[in-house]
Amino acid sequence: MPLRICVVGFRNTGKTRLVTSIVSFLSSKGFRVAVVKHSHERIDLAVKDTARILTSNPLAVAYSSPYDNVLILDRGLNPEYILELLNPDIILYEGFKRSPYPKILTAVEKGHLEVDVDPSLVKMVVAPEYLKEDALKLYPKAVFSTLEDEELPDRVLQVIRRVYASRLPGLNCGLCGYGSCGRYAELILKDEARIGRCVVEDPPARLYVDWSRVELKSYPASVLKSLLAAFTDTLKGVKKGYEFIIASARIRREDC
């Protein structure tokens, strides 16, 4: 599954600036990054006709213009599953402080450090230098940096590597190609191996039924991938060297 990291903090503490910087840096390094932004308010749509369509309760509305494309989903659909279909390496969240995912905390004054989050999930604090001592008292295992630090993007990437390395299951199956989880983790932290090679954490195929993810172990996931690839390779018009396959089937019980 994609690695998930949340950037959390009070308003006007630099969350959006930090997210933008992280996405730009990671994308330049070849990572596929998706972003989820939390809001307590309804999206402000400039096109009134699109807003009117939303009131009719469609499954989804796609808004296309020469400048961008926007997909708005029914609130009952989990956007995380939609994003997973894009095969991102990392999903970056702005907000979602109550999620179980690792956090990067932003602050500009001392009161901003005391956020309603699990302290063990705070892996990094980004704040002015004078808050460093207070920040590390509250979050002793976190990395500290300032928003102006030129090495901030590199520090964030190192945090991401540590988070991924800590998730490795310790099975030592060797399917990643590095022999053992310990060796793979060591190379990740040295920037000598990319994240995403663990077939337990990142199975080779994912299955969704009625927009709910079905958890697959590495073997059935490998079988599913092989079946899809074998079928796809027989089809005319499929380009060589494709990166991923998305298949969708509408099952009508009367047809079974």
CB contact set of 1 (below 8 Å; sequence gap of 6+):
84, 201, 202, 203, 206
Mean of pLDDT values over 106-122: 94
Higher pLDDT, residue 172 or 53:
172
CATH 2.40.50.140 fits 3-148, yes or no: no
Residue 41: predicted pLDDT: 62
Backbone angles phi, psi at 134, to 5 degrees: -65, -40
Mean of pLDDT values over 230-256: 83
As a whole-number percent, the residues of the chain with pLDDT over 70 amount to: 91
Residue 183: predicted pLDDT: 95
For the cut 60, the answer to whether the pLDDT of residue 256 exceeds it is no
For the cut 60, the answer to whether the pLDDT of residue 46 exceeds it is no
Mean of pLDDT values over 179-187: 94
Residue 45: predicted pLDDT: 60
How, if at all, do strands 212-214 and 207-209 pair? antiparallel
pLDDT class of 199 with cuts at 50, 70, 90: confident
Q: Of 50-54, 79-83, 139-143, which one has max mean pLDDT?
A: 139-143
Mean of pLDDT values over 18-23: 94
Predicted TM-score (pTM) of the model is: 0.81
pLDDT class of 155 with cuts at 50, 70, 90: very high
Domain ranges of the chain: 3-148, 207-255
Residue with tokens 């309603």: 116
Residue 24: predicted pLDDT: 94
pLDDT class of 47 with cuts at 50, 70, 90: low
CB contact set of 132 (below 8 Å; sequence gap of 6+):
144
pLDDT class of 56 with cuts at 50, 70, 90: confident
Higher pLDDT, residue 50 or 116:
116
For the cut 70, the answer to whether the pLDDT of residue 40 exceeds it is no
Residue 149: predicted pLDDT: 94
For the cut 90, the answer to whether the pLDDT of residue 77 exceeds it is no
**β-sheet bridge partners, residue 90:** 3, 33
Instruction: Name which of 23-32, 37-46, 67-76, 156-165 the model is least confident about.
Output: 37-46
Q: Mean pLDDT over all residues of the chain?
A: 87
Nearest CA to 205 among 171, 249, 241, 245? 245
Residue 27: predicted pLDDT: 94
Nearest CA to 57 among 74, 32, 39? 74
**Residue 231, token pair as written in the block:** 């079928």
235 three-state secondary structure: coil
